[in-house]
Amino acid sequence: MSDPKDILTRMYKTDNSELVLPKEETEQKDVEDILQSNIFNVMLNRRSQRRFEPKEVEEHKIELILAAADTAPTAGGFQGFEIFHIKNNEIKSELVKAANNQPYVNAPLVLVFCKNPSRVKLNFPEEILRKFSLQDATLAAAYAQLASHALGLSSIWIGMIDENMVMKILNTDLVPSSILCIGYPKKILQPKPKRSLKDLIHRI
């Protein structure tokens, strides 16, 4: 089996060839935790969280979450989405208003996922390209959400947004698809019950 650290090295490598791996010894455990985290456990135990500890998310975890988002499949591999990492507290407060006054949008880590159909260089009608970019942005957010949980964080997916307000706040002409709010949970929640797979799956 190949050294799993090779995978991590590939994943954490940024365009300017800087490794964003945790460099300090005390942070090494986090990396080991990631290597141990089983994707099925992460998926099964993830719960939406709307109450966060007032604790910053460490920079290396943010980098991992962003790198994970960038591993998601995209239509034609064109990465038809953009991520806005909101660091400014005033902008976070504005986003609360743009999200129907949901206060937890003011979370320690706030990522806004936007569609960017202009990146999708496929010879299809505009409508299809918009649909692809929505799927690209959604998948990237979902990957970021799972990565957050694998890193011991919790998150809430915000879909109830006023798109125009968000665009104005971000000063962009890109249409947002969702906001992912991430932080350390106040309380670990149990996974929600789901309908049985028998009801969900339609075998034809």
Ligand X SMILES: Cc1cc2nc3c(=O)[nH]c(=O)nc-3n(C[C@H](O)[C@H](O)[C@H](O)COP(=O)(O)O)c2cc1C
Cβ distance to ligand X smaller for residue 152 or 159: 159
13 versus 47: smaller Cβ distance to ligand X: 47
Q: Give the footprint of ligand X on this chain (CB under 6 A).
A: 47-48, 50, 102, 156-160, 192
Residue 15 Cβ, how far from ligand X at the closest point, in Å? 30
By beta-carbon proximity to ligand X, the closer residue of 21 and 86 is 86
Which pair of structure tokens corresponds to residue 174? 């890109």
Q: Which residues, including other chains, have CB under 8 Å from residue 26's CB and lie 6 or more apart?
A: none
Q: Can you tell me the distance from the alpha carbon of 155 to that of 112, in angstroms, rounded to the nearest whole number?
A: 13
Shortest CB 35 distance to ligand X, Å: 25
In the bound state with ligand X, the residue whose beta carbon lies nearer, of 22 and 132, is 132
- Identify which of 44, 74, 61 has the alpha carbon closest to the alpha carbon of residue 141: 74
The Cα 200–Cα 204 span in angstroms is: 13
Q: Cβ-closest residue to ligand X?
A: 159
Buried b (16+ CB within 10 A) or exposed e, 148-160: bbbbebbbbbbee
In the complex, the smallest distance separating the C-beta of residue 191 from ligand X, rounded to whole angstroms, is: 7
**Measured from the CB of residue 160, what is the shortest distance to ligand X in angstroms?**
3
Joined tokens for residue 37: 């985290």
